[in-house]
Amino acid sequence: MLTSLAVVEINKATIGAYPNAVKTLIWVLYNGKGREVREAATALYAICSFVDNRKRAVECGAVPILMRIGGMGLERAVEVLSLLVKCKEGREEMRKVNGCMEVFVKVIRNGSERGAQCALLTLNCLCCFAEEMCVEAKKDGVLEICVGFLDDENERVRRNAATLVQTLSCRGSMKRLWMEGWR
């Protein structure tokens, strides 16, 4: 029912502002089973499409739980993470999660088009803001995977892959130029 209510734009702000709504959804993500978890992730996705609710979700501990269930194969969790990465607090929390890169790489390699699209977008945001994420992404073969997506039929996947290729390529080049300037 909450998922249906959260689809209406004005309800997203109202639901997110209610003190226990986001906490309860995260509790269900942590403690629920099967369909309950999928429904909670879907509701959280709808609620977090409202910008002010992203920080609330991060503060309530959503990131580690979403990373865990995303790593177990629930792509909706990665879709929620693709919204949370757009706020500073979300990026900081994702960088703290051990195995963060592995979750996104797994979804990029084995997930649906939508999952790959969201994982590529999330990785791009993380790499734009953190050099160590770029290094880890390159080490895990993300650049090569992205090059393989440059001819993908799905325009969003292709675009997100191209953007991530550019980010990974430029980050290394910018750092080299900066370091050479100080010699």
pLDDT of residue 62: 97
DSSP line for 57-77: HHHTTHHHHHHHHHHTT-HHH
- Final residue of a structural domain among 42, 74, 98: 98
Enter the DSSP assignment of 105.
H
Per-residue pLDDT at 48 exceeds 90: yes
Report the domain count for the chain: 2
d(CA 87, CA 31): 26
Q: Which structural domain, as residue segments, surrounds residue 8?
A: 1-98
Please tell me whether residues 136 and 173 are part of one structural domain: yes
Please tell me whether residues 109 and 19 are part of one structural domain: no
Tokens of 35: 């369909």
- 51 neighbors 41 (Cβ within 8 angstroms): no
Residue partners of 161: CB distance under 8 A and separation at least 6: 120, 145, 146, 147, 149, 150, 152
> What is the domain-level CATH number for residue 159?
1.25.10
- Final residue of a structural domain among 98, 117, 150: 98
Please tell me whether residues 77 and 30 are part of one structural domain: yes
Q: pLDDT tens, 72-81?
A: 999 999 999 9
Using only C-alpha atoms, the chain has a radius of gyration, in whole angstroms, of 17
Residue 167, CB half-sphere, CA atoms under 13 Å: how many?
Answer: 26
Please tell me whether residues 103 and 15 are part of one structural domain: no
Q: pLDDT tens, 130-148?
A: 999 999 999 999 999 999 9
pTM: 0.86
What percentage of residues in the chain have a pLDDT greater than 90? 79
- Final residue of a structural domain among 37, 65, 98: 98
Please tell me whether residues 61 and 18 are part of one structural domain: yes
